Amino acid sequence: MLYLDNSATTKVAPEALDAMLPYLQEEYGNPASKYYTLAENSKNAVKQARNQVAAIVGCDPDEVIFTSGATESNNMVLKGIADYYENQNQTIITTKTEHPSIIDTCEYLESKGFHIIYLDVDKFGRVNPNKVKEAIENYHPLLVSIIWGNNELGSLNDIEKIAHYCAINNVFFHTDATQVIGKIHVDISEHPGIRFLSLSSHKIHGPKGIGACIIRKENETLQTKITPLIHGGGQEFEYRSGTLAVHNIVGFGKAAELAHLNLSTTKEHLEQLEKSLTDILINQFKDKISFNNDQQFKIPGLLSLQFKGVNNELLLKKLSNHMALSTGSACSSGKPSHVLSAAGFTQNEIQQTVRISMSKYINVDDLDFFKSLK
């Protein structure tokens, strides 16, 4: 089976699995316990993983808050900011092409009286940073939340400019960076305006059920205040309570370390795969296909295309014994793509669209299978 749904989830790297196993068997201590060796070993393993995750995003280790994944991190930021600062401006700015965990959370906050502004996007799903600037200046919002790289079209938003506009206007800025980590250069120390960032382990060849919310400090010593999503034992610097899943955290840390070390080679390999597959598809299908994604300023290795006149669900079922593809986001399964709709695609075009997302474990020769399709 040729696995081409890596934007949904990825294979766990063997090195990450090997790192996890001791913490499922021998090293099973609770890092919140004290003094005895099993607890200290787990505590040190979590510390190492926190350093590894911090390195791949360019933040301080104590700004890494472990969560169950980006969906929780997104909820944590939006609900936590909205609750803690509810007596301030209740306006939140986002876009129409965000991940469902942002869109649905914004709709929930709307029901609680918050004013949500959903900015329009271009044909590739990108927001115009000048429109963000204009909205910030007009509404002086509490929070801006804009995805870094779109999970369906692969388009990259101009996070540098948006972060700058938020910084100079003293507005909280959050970005969901789930799809870009390990594929493009990310260093939030270069962008002081980014105050919050979400990411998931299972998108970078780590285990499922673990991710992080990056919460930048106000200054070197002062934490940014938000209301916790989960109350209890005060773990994770009192941002998120609950016994830490040490094995998952260790696997996440190892996956982050590998992704950081191999970033340039991974990016180059994904670009090579994308070019090879694009050439094969054009040669094989010619005018029977149409690409939805931009050819530049995008996540490497992610393609969105239409097979004209072919229903995408029927196509996926026909190919299911040979390859794994998707019609779009795994988090909105069964629903028409709100991303493609917001980008201006018709329902017919949406129903012809498939997403192909590749990984470092795919070889160029593996793509020759597409040459046999008609």
Rounded Cα gap, residues 342 and 290, in angstroms: 18
The DSSP secondary structure of 139-176, one letter per residue, reads H--SEEE--SB-TTT-BBP-HHHHHHHHHHTT-EEEEE
331 counts as catalytic: yes
Nearest to 293 by CA among 179, 171, 137: 179
Angle between helices 263-285 and 246-261 (to 10 degrees): 80
Whether the Cβ atoms of residue 71 and residue 217 lie closer than 8 Å to each other = no
Q: Cα(50)–Cα(270) distance, rounded to whole angstroms?
A: 27
The separation between CA 21 and the C-alpha centre of its own chain, rounded to angstroms, equals: 26
| Whether the Cβ atoms of residue 299 and residue 180 lie closer than 8 Å to each other | yes
Q: Which of 160, 146, 96 is nearest to 122 (CA)?
A: 96
Token couple for 305:
């295309």
Element containing residue 104 per DSSP (H, E): helix 100-111
Using the Cα atoms of residue 65, residue 71, residue 75 and residue 78 in order, give the sign of their dihedral.
positive
Q: Which sign, positive or negative, has the C-alpha torsion 327, 328, 332, 337?
A: negative
Instruction: Decide the pairing of beta strands 172-176 and 143-145.
Output: parallel
Active-site residue, selected from the candidate residues 106, 166, 213, 331: 331
Characterize the bridge pairing of strands 353-357 and 143-145.
Answer: unpaired
Report strand pairing: 211-215 vs 323-324.
unpaired
User: How many CA atoms lie within 13 Å of 273's alpha carbon, on the beta-carbon side?
Assistant: 24
Q: Kindly state the helix (H) or strand (E) to which residue 275 belongs, with its residue range.
A: helix 263-285
Residues serving a catalytic function are 331
